[in-house]
């Protein structure tokens, strides 16, 4: 009989997963104000599962790259203007959730990749 085992994630991997999921939650909140739910939700959640479930040193790199892609999309599409939408509290909250989440995922993903690669080389 197969048993399900959980492994603990290091702080950087945990922050990467949390950032990706918070970013996805922000996109969902933006959906409540009529913004279309883009492919970003699927990509952010899939990357979070990959980082959490895969032991490979490259998994956090995937999370960081998805975070980078969403940061660029957020900034270049004009969606970042929601960070200043004081007259639209739901848009404001969703934009801040998304922005903070994806920036955390990007930075933590780079740190986690470095930690994982360093650990991989010493084995």
**Contact, 51 vs 16, CB < 8 A?**
yes
**Confidence at residue 34, expressed as pLDDT on a 0 to 100 scale:** 85
**Confidence at residue 37, expressed as pLDDT on a 0 to 100 scale:** 76
DSSP alpha helix (H) spans, the chain:
11-31, 40-53, 59-76, 89-122
Encode pLDDT of 22-70 as tens digits. Answer: 999 999 999 999 878 778 899 999 999 999 998 888 999 999 999 999 9
Record the pTM: 0.88
Task: Answer yes or no: is pLDDT of 6 > 80.
Answer: no
For the chain, the domains span: 20-122
**Confidence at residue 7, expressed as pLDDT on a 0 to 100 scale:** 63
């Amino acid at each position: 009989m197969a048993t399900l085992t959980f492994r603990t994630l290091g702080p950087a991997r945990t922050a990467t997963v949390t950032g990706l999921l918070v970013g996805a939650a922000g996109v969902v909140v933006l959906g409540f104000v009529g913004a279309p739910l883009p492919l970003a939700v699927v990509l952010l959640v899939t990357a979070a599962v990959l980082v959490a479930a895969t032991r490979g040193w490259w998994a956090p790199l995937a999370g960081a790259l998805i975070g980078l892609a969403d940061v660029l999309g957020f900034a270049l599409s004009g969606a970042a203007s929601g960070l200043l939408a004081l007259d639209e509290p739901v848009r404001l909250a969703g934009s801040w959730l998304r922005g903070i989440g994806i920036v955390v995922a990007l930075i933590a993903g780079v740190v986690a990749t470095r930690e994982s690669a360093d650990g991989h080389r010493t084995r």
